[in-house]
Structure 1
Amino acid sequence: MKSSSITIAGGGSTFTPGIVIMLLDNLDKFPIRQIKFYDNDGDRQEVIGKACEILLKERAPQIKFSYTTDPEEAFTDIDFVMAHIRVGKYAMRELDEKIPLRYKVLGQETCGPGGIAYGMRSIGGILEIIDFMEKYSPNAWMLNYSNPAAIVAEATRRLRPDSRVLNICDMPVGIEELMARIAGLNSRKEMDVRYYGLNHFGWWNSIRDKQGNDLMPKIKEHVAKYGYTFDMGHHQHVDASWNDTFHKAKDVFALDPDTLPNTYLKYYLFQDYVVEHSDIEFSRANEVMEGREKTVFKAAQDIIDKGTAKDCNFHPDEHASYIVDLARAIAFNTKERMLLIVENEGAIENFDSTGMVEIPCLVGSEGYEKLSMGKIPQFQKGLMEQQVSVEKLVVDAWITGSYQKLWQAMTLSKTVPSASIAKKILDDLIEANKEYWPELN
């Protein structure tokens, strides 16, 4: 079995240690000869890098490891870039969440005005990493799971159309794990799903086990009563805010009981509820900074101080196992069926052909083949047309530096009540993002 060389872009991320452990847990399926970290924040990366260096030395000494802020060093001699960057880090996420809340509009990392602000920051960072990869390892593939994935995917479609980039998200994976438990299965891999939508904006319309038995009735019965809440023990999303999101799925489901919804639809369909249950003093970003960020960096520092990763407090990121599946599918041409964010081009018959949709694809060494989803219902189509237009206008604004386009994007978002409120939020976000956004005219 051939071994791969990987660069993790976003080496200082709180998710990086979990991804490393998950990669180590899967070496029998996906052998690795080299792991490199790349981040433009050297100080932050150093703590995670030093800890992971000790961890790898103890658990997989055969893997060559390094971390760097130098693009040439990071992107030379690699097969895969696993990209999960956060331009502006959690400090900017906090502003994405709190600025809209000043105007009684929901503050969320990837949805509404906060998602638009984050998208405007992310586009340049992702394009830069694609360019580094193509310059130093032109045959490598980039597996991009940086948020907000929908806007980033639209930008790569328009600005790097020939690049070897696969855009993917872990949220459906996490929900499918919950569905599998509800259906009495051990893993989502025991299911075949049909799903359509945009990133963080989609619906399952068929879930069957490998024998072809329909699992939808059993899952729907559970979701109608409890949403996706289900006791899973150690789970990536266990904070109070996530429990609420899983529970609220029951109300989203009630709107269209023919399908099962992505949890993020609560932000678009129940904005008033979300605002009412938001704390402008302590948003999700604060929850993460007080929780996961402190926990992960403390665990990393403990490893450095002790000089050993034995009994360390790093946990594998189970959600990230789909990244191994994706890399394996390319490396070994497995034709695995996976949800990717791809240009529609008729896969959903009655939807914008250039829209970046999230649908099942078969992945192999040449990339992916899309599965046809046929026609979708008017309700979903209407919501998706509105949201895909928001995403396209954001990318227009980034490319042309147009204030007008970004105001239109903000106004068109289902989360924003009026053009005047959109303008106030936009002006505050421009002020907050001076360092990160292109200048708007």
Structure 2
Amino acid sequence: MALKLVIIGGGSSYTPEIIEGIIKRYQHFPVKEVVLVDIEEGEEKVRITSELAKRMIKHADVPIELSYTKDRARALKHADFVTVQIRVGGLNARSLDERIPLSHGLIGQETNGAGGIFKALRTIPVMLDIARDIKEICPEAWLINFTNPAGIVTEALLKHGPHQKVIGVCNIPYNMKNSIAEIFDVNVNRVMIEFAGLNHFVFGQKVWIDGVDRTEEAIGHLLNDTIDYSPSNIAMLPWNRQFLRSLRMLPNPYHQYYYQYEDVLAKDIEAYKNKGTRAEAVMDVEKQLFEKYNDADIHEKPKELEERGGAYYSEAACSLMNSLYHHSMDIQTVNTLNRGSIPDLPHDAVIEVNSVITKSGPIPLTVGKLPDSISGAVISIKKFEQLVIEAAITGDDNILYSAMIMNPLIPSDHKAQSVMNEMLEAHKRYLPQFFKEAVHDETK
């Protein structure tokens, strides 16, 4: 069976990684057609990316037809898989997500705190539009989402969208598993980590090598600072030794925003004042990447792509699509409906958890009740996420404010109000749901 893959956000610098994954799996995952989709503002990038992708395909000598278009509906016809990697507002919007909170003395990060909230507000309505198109045009296709904040976006799609064949992926569990393999000097296929929690708030509860529990040894390596599984967009600080001993689990890199708040904030404010935010650094990396992509002599994914924080998202997505196609029944860590896996959380909440991947979708493995040391925090973050989704759907600024003050990275009601108002105004173009009256007045 010849497969068709549509990549929405095809002008992303991550696209060559997806192409590499498709080429690598071609013999047993027969993708015959790939269509890159992007918007007017991304036309130059998607053109450059498509030309590199064509060179990669030609160099690999595989019969894959690749094209790009701005016509999403036309691209979706007969699609079997749709991956989505969009950034509504581009890197300029990300810069605002980081700069505005930092200017008020709050952590500015693209998927956590105020920045993550506003990224979700801009993204969810667009993702729901995409889901409606998929439901109408290619209802049997799987939507693989790695648009951040992945957990929130995936839950919004499953709760409010018409298309239910939706799975979210993240590179953090992938990075953690590979780092453990390196530390123990074993093939990654011999490593199993029991992940439990939420996207960017997930914990590695157990570590097994060849079925043997090696959790204590893994924590010992963390205590000795020999593990660094953080993506390049997060400069890790050393963990407090007492924190690790009491946690008795593997934290993920994003936990430092919550458990090392003051140190991270001080570091980020210093960077903001002296050299700019991560968004500006990514703009420089992107510029260099697209210069390389535009080189007609380049026919493989440049190593510099690893400097992007989301490197390996695409590897996780390709592995997932392959397993869905083959009904592999292997275990992967995905964002999917809870369905009782974690009884602390609602049945219809999206969690990040190990799941058996079948042709019908992921079946989450039972985790059981979360340890008391993390259950309260996980429940609180999930309630916060659900408020963000409700705000994105309704455009109700009271619900948005409730989400702001519930977020642990916004520890001030006054700052929550100021940052909310400033960011609403800054992102007004991409948040029409919050400005319905203004839009109505302008059309009189």
Same fold (TM over 0.5): yes
Would you say 1:129 and 2:130 are equivalent positions? yes
Equivalent position of 1:254 in the other structure = 244
Seen in structure 2, the aligned counterparts of structure 1 residues 49 and 253 have a Cα distance that, compared at 3 Å, is farther
Aligned to 2:438: none
Name the residue aligned to 1:296: 289
Per-residue deviation, 1:318 = 4.5
Aligned to 2:352, which of 344, 347, 358? 358
1:31-430 equivalent positions in 2, closer than 5 A: 31-40=30-39, 41-160=42-161, 162-187=163-188, 189-210=189-210, 212-226=211-225, 228-229=227-228, 237-238=231-232, 242=234, 244-245=235-236, 247-249=237-239, 253-254=243-244, 256-278=246-268, 279-281=271-273, 282-291=276-285, 293-303=286-296, 308-310=297-299, 313=302, 318-430=312-424
Q: Work out the CA distance in 1 between the residues paired with 2:64 and 2:74.
A: 17
**Secondary structure in structure 2 of the residue aligned to 1:34:** strand
Cα distance in 2 for residues equivalent to 1:62 and 1:410: 50
Q: Deviations over 1:98-153 (max 9, x none)?
A: 10001111000100000001000110221122222222212111111110112202
Cα pair distance change 1:126/1:114, threshold 3 Å: same
For the pair 1:21 / 2:20, whether they are aligned, the reply is yes
TM-score, normalization by structure 2: 0.90
| CA distances 1:200-250 after superposition (whole Å, capped 9, x unpaired) | 00111111123x2112122111101206337xxxxx944xx53x32x4356
Distance 1:311 1:148 in 2: 29
What does residue 432 of structure 1 align with?
426
Three-state SS of the structure 2 residue aligned to 1:321 is helix
Read off the aligned partner of 1:381 and give its amino acid letter: S
* 1:233 alignment counterpart: none
Partners of 2:125 and 2:372 in 1: CA distance: 35
1:311 and 1:8 mapped to 2: Cα distance? 18
The whole-number CA distance in structure 2 between the counterparts of 1:310 and 1:355 is: 42
Structure 2: tracts of 5 or more residues without a match: 436-444
Q: Deviations over 1:56-111 (max 9, x none)?
A: 23333511111000012211121101111111111101110110001111000100
Q: Which amino acid in 2 is paired with 1:299? A: K
Shift in CA distance, 387/262, structure 1 to aligned 2, threshold 3 Å = same
Question: Structure 1, residues 277-306: CA drift from partner, whole Å, max 9, x if none?
Answer: 012241111111112x02220012212xxx
Distance 2:173 2:413 in 1: 32
Structure-2 change in CA distance of 1:394 and 1:208 (3 Å)? same
Residue identity opposite 1:190 in structure 2: R
Percent identity of paired positions between Structure 1 and Structure 2 = 27
> Are the aligned partners of 1:56 and 1:63 in contact in 2 as well (CA < 8 Å)?
yes
The number of equivalent residue pairs is 424
Contact 2:139–2:163 (8 Å) recurs in 1: no
Q: Tell me the distance in 1 between the aligned counterparts of 2:242 and 2:314.
A: 26
Letter in 2 for 1:406: L
For the residues of structure 2 that align with 1:252 and 1:301, how far apart are their CA atoms?
49
Q: How far has the Cα of 1:154 moved from its partner? A: 2.1
Match of 1:407, as an amino acid?
Y
Residue 47 of structure 1 and its aligned partner are, at CA, apart by 1.8
- Preserved CA contact (<8 Å) 1:340 1:360: yes
- Amino acid corresponding to residue 102 of structure 2 in structure 1: L
Q: Which amino acid aligns with 2:142?
A: W
Amino acid paired to 1:377: P
Describe the SS at the equivalent of 1:335: coil
Letter in 2 for 1:378: D
CA RMSD across the alignment: 2.1
* Equivalent-residue separation in structure 2 for 1:319 and 1:142 (angstroms): 15
- Shift in alpha-carbon separation, 1:350–1:297, aligned structure 2, 3 A: same
CA, structure 1 residues 252+227, in 2 after alignment: closer, same or farther (shift >3 Å)?
A: farther
Q: Secondary structure at the match of 2:59?
A: helix
